[in-house]
Amino acid sequence: LPKLPQTVADVRTLYAPSDFRTTLLESIANATTRIYLVALYLEHDDAGRNILEALYQAKQQRPELEICVLVDWHRAQRGRIGAEATNTNADWYCAMAAQHPHLSVPVYGVPVNTREALGVLHLKGFVIDDTVIYSGASINDVYLHQHEKYRYDRYQLITNAVLADTLIDYIKQHLLIAGAVQRLDRDDRPKSPEIKNETRMFRFALRRASYEFRGKAGNDELAVTPLVGLGKQSILNKTIHHLMASADQKLTLCTPYFNLPALLVRNIIYLLRQGKQVEIIVGDKTANDFYIPEDQPFKIIGALPYLYEINLRRFLSRLQRYVDTGQLIVRLWKDGDNSYHLKGMWVDDQWQLITGNNLN
């Protein structure tokens, strides 16, 4: 893989969602050239309002700022699961735009497929000036720990001008120019069926799209490689597979949803048979963001955490002998009624996969 040089001093890791919230707000307030936010959703709640208001305030103070928000097209135009589609996030974006007619803070909807159930925008991360703030978190009260509950993710800040430019170029060249990608902060936006053909063409184009950059780093220095992928044969999926297989001593992986593809399970078994150690950190079923407490009305989506738990039990019973010897370690994350959304992979002390991919 081509690699970009990265200085150690320009990499920061945050360990708390509240720190992520304050850092994001501070970065927006101090931005001088550009702010690009990409998330599954920007929710109409206290945390979401604080972020969107901060964007408008930054634009007002520095009109030359380049600001762009991209969220999933379908998710923005419905209520939460089980709720009616009244006062959607898109309606709120329109209201905010109407309140600030002389300020441009465009919010784009990205339809990865013709229906939300078939695919969503999972390209998460923020670019502010030359810093990439990378997390699997979207923007709402729970992800940003605005009140009592939080959803734990991972939060990396990487300052690297070439990396930031590479991500922005991808957004401009493959997302913003696509006919399927439409402004959500406008009342005259089309209905989903009206852009069905554009959406299909867009999805086809995304399968071939990649980050374009010239790798200048060698193998004996700290480096970073941006990866993007859609489809089974994407460069991202291939890299996940090869990274797992390259472990010399230990593989550590995190996922909130234990639903590993057969290929990744085979990789784990291969490593265990070679005498290598595998550690998996997964959320308890009650820490799953789809979990519904027993005292609340049941919805079909609430079955998912139980299915993931069944998957985990079967996986462990199959590999119990490796658990007994300490070769296979599985840890369950649980902290009260908070939730777990952390994903990623560590290979020995050599490689780290910082990703929004759930490894499922």
pLDDT at residue 115, as a whole number: 85
Q: What is the model's pLDDT at position 87?
A: 84
Distance of alpha carbon 347 from alpha carbon 278, whole angstroms: 10
Q: Phi then psi for 159, rounded to 5 degrees?
A: -90, 115
Q: Select from 256, 251, 262, 272 the least CA-distant residue to 347.
A: 251
Please state the separation of Cα 161 from the chain's center in Å: 21
| In contact, 174 and 206? CB cutoff 8 Å | yes
In total, the chain counts a number of residues equal to: 360
Q: What is the pLDDT of residue 231?
A: 85
- The fourth-level CATH superfamily of domain 232-354 is Endonuclease Chain A (3.30.870.10)
Cβ(120)–Cβ(106) under 8 Å?
no
Domain residue limits, the chain: 4-207, 232-354
CA–CA distance from 129 to each of 30, 195, 239, 359 (Å)? 9, 33, 28, 30
Q: Which residues contact 355 (CB under 8 A, 6 or more apart)?
A: 136, 227, 236, 343, 344, 345
So what's the pLDDT on residue 86? 66
* Mean pLDDT, each 10-residue run in order, the chain (360 residues): 96 98 98 98 98 99 98 90 71 97 97 87 94 96 98 97 98 97 96 96 94 92 94 91 96 95 96 98 94 90 94 97 97 96 95 91
Q: Do domains 4-207 and 232-354 have the same CATH topology?
A: yes
Helix H or strand E segment including 247: none
Q: Rounded to two decimals, what is the model's pTM?
A: 0.94
> Does domain 4-207 bear CATH number 3.30.870.10?
yes
CB contact burial 317-346 (16+ within 10 A = b; e otherwise): eebeebeeeebbeeebbeeeebbbbbbbbb
- Does residue 106 contact residue 67 with C-beta atoms inside 8 Å? yes
3-state secondary structure 203-238: HHHHHHCCCCCCCCCCCCCCEECCCCCCCCCCHHHH
